[in-house]
Amino acid sequence: MKIAMMTRSPNLFSHKRMKEAAEERGHELHMINTLRCSVNIASRRPEIYYDGERLPKYDAVIPRIGASITYYGLAVLRQFEMQGVFPVNESVAIGRSRDKLRSMQLLARDGIGLPVTTFAHDPKKSEEVVNLAGGAPLVIKLIEGTQGIGVVLADTNRSAKSVIEAFRGAGVNILVQEFIKEAGGTDIRAFVIGGKVVAAMQRSGAEGEFRSNLHRGGSAKPIKVSPEERSTAIRAARAMGLNVCGVDMLRSNHGPVVMEVNSSPGLEGVEKATGKDIAGMIIEFIERKGREGKTRTKGRG
Ligand code: ADP
């Protein structure tokens, strides 16, 4: 097969691994820098140009669109979809997962366990938001944050209110969430491919850190998830419409709660922790499903 990967970082571990896995299986994989693509929106003839040349027709596309270029990246991906190229994750599904409020609302609609989560626009509503979330301790998160940056733990209602007021006063969008203390600074990343949990790891924060992000010095080990955690991860992936994703969950006293569904999950942490060939599994998924014109939405909302 001829596979395109949309990425600006061809040397990233995850991307090199998928290229290797594709080539080992006799496919061709081209890394395409999303920002160097130009799009020709001609009626019934969707084209993509790359450095001035028209891109050949691919069988499948692996979107690895960085959060900072979501808008343009999704436009290029839609163009691939309109050509009938099979996307590992569809543009519409990635769009849902990039909007934290929308994703939580979609997960809640499907009855998936979530931490109690509130948000409000008006900084004057800080007291109401604190009360709705159940009072301190609370976690306050920047909606646009990644890698644990902008995730704050407020121990008292007073500090929660000041943090909310400061962020909202600066015009920053936030979520206010029940603090799942019993998770003890660990979370679970379940890797889902084609409706199955293919690997799972437990990430633990560095000493004294409630955030378990590997980028913040956390460590990872393989873990066997419970049947409830497995079905929560699968349902979360389905609610978002993602074929390949990382579902981050916390173990709470009231069962697994989903924090986030990541549409471009990294492979390094999970492959190293579990010893599994996740890159190979993604390529196998493409072999099974990557047929022309099989995209469900073709960019339709
Ligand atoms: P990011 O998307 O920036 O990684 P997350 O929402 O995943 O931010 O939060 C980072 C880490 O903080 C999580 O992996 C988890 O360990 C911890 N954390 C986040 N929300 C909560 C919460 N409500 N209760 C307990 N710990 C949390």
Output the six-digit token pair for 81.
Answer: 């979809």
Q: Are residues 168 and 186 in the same domain?
A: no
Residue-level pLDDT at 293: 64
Q: Residue ranges of the chain with pLDDT lower than 70? A: 145-146, 148, 292-301
Q: In one letter, which amino acid is 113?
A: G
Q: Does residue 294 form part of some domain?
A: no
Ligand 1 centroid vs 49 CA: distance in angstroms? 39
Q: DSSP assignment, residue 44?
A: T
Domain presence at residue 102: no
Cα of 237 from ligand 1 centre, angstroms: 18
Residue 161 belongs to a domain: yes
Question: Of ligand 1's atoms, which has the minimum distance to the CA of residue 149?
Answer: 3
C-alpha dist (Å) from residue 6 to 25, 120, 130, 134: 20, 35, 41, 42
Does 296 fall in a domain? no
Q: Find the residues whose C-beta lies inside 6 A of ligand 1.
A: 115, 139, 141, 145-148, 151, 177-180, 183, 187, 210-213, 248, 250, 259-260
Q: Which atom of ligand 1 is nearest to the CA of 205?
A: 16
Q: Measuring from atom 8 of ligand 1, which residue has the nearest CA?
A: 148
Distance CA 101, CA 253 (A): 23
CA of 178 to the centre of ligand 1 (A): 11
Distances (CA, A) of 246 to 56, 121, 169, 233, 285: 30, 29, 33, 8, 15
Mutate to test the pocket of ligand 1, among 144, 172, 187 (most ligand atoms within 8 A of CB): 187
Give the span between the Cα atoms of 55 and 57, in whole angstroms: 7
**What is the length of the chain?**
301
Same domain, 68 and 14: yes
6 shares its domain with 80: yes
The domain that holds 71 is classified in CATH as 3.40.50.20
| Per-residue model confidence (pLDDT) at position 88 | 98
Same domain? 234 vs 258:
yes
Q: Output the residue whose Cα is nearest ligand 1's atom 9.
A: 148
| Closest CA relative to residue 263, chosen from 96, 41, 16 | 96
In 3D, which of 67, 59, 99, 71 has the Cα closest to residue 295?
A: 59
Nearest CA to ligand 1 atom 22: 179
Q: Does 136 lie in the same domain as 66? A: no
User: Which pLDDT score, from 0 to 100, does residue 236 have?
Assistant: 98
Domain membership flag for residue 108? no
Nearest CA owner, ligand 1 atom 12 = 211
Smallest Cα–Cα separation from 114: which of 199, 232, 223, 195? 232
Q: Can you give the CATH number for the domain in which 175 is found? A: 3.30.1490.20
pLDDT of residue 299: 60
DSSP 208-244: T-S---GGGT-EEEE-PPPHHHHHHHHHHHHHHT-SE
Give the mutation target among 138, 143, 259 for probing the ligand 1 site: most ligand atoms within 8 A of CB. Answer: 259
Asked whether residue 188 falls in the same domain as residue 169, the answer is no
Question: Residue 36 falls within a domain, yes or no?
Answer: yes
Q: 105: which 2 tokens?
A: 């609302």
Query: Is position 123 within any domain?
Result: yes
Confidence (pLDDT) at 300: 64
Cβ neighbours around 68 below 10 Å, total:
11
Q: Is the dihedral of CA 45, 46, 52, 53 positive or negative?
A: negative
Kindly give the distance from the C-alpha atom of residue 250 to the centroid of ligand 1, in angstroms, as a whole number.
9
Give the structural domain span for 192: 182-284
Across-strand partners of 116? none
Token pair recorded at residue 112: 């998936």
Burial class (CB in 10 A: 0-12, 13-18, 19+), 131: exposed
Residue 17 CA, chain-centre distance (Å), reads 19
**pLDDT on residue 119:** 86
Domain count, the chain: 3
Give 120-177 pLDDT, tens digit per residue.
888 788 999 999 999 999 999 988 766 767 899 999 999 999 999 999 888 889 999 9
Specify if 55 maps to a domain.
Answer: yes
Q: What is the pTM for the complete model shown? A: 0.94
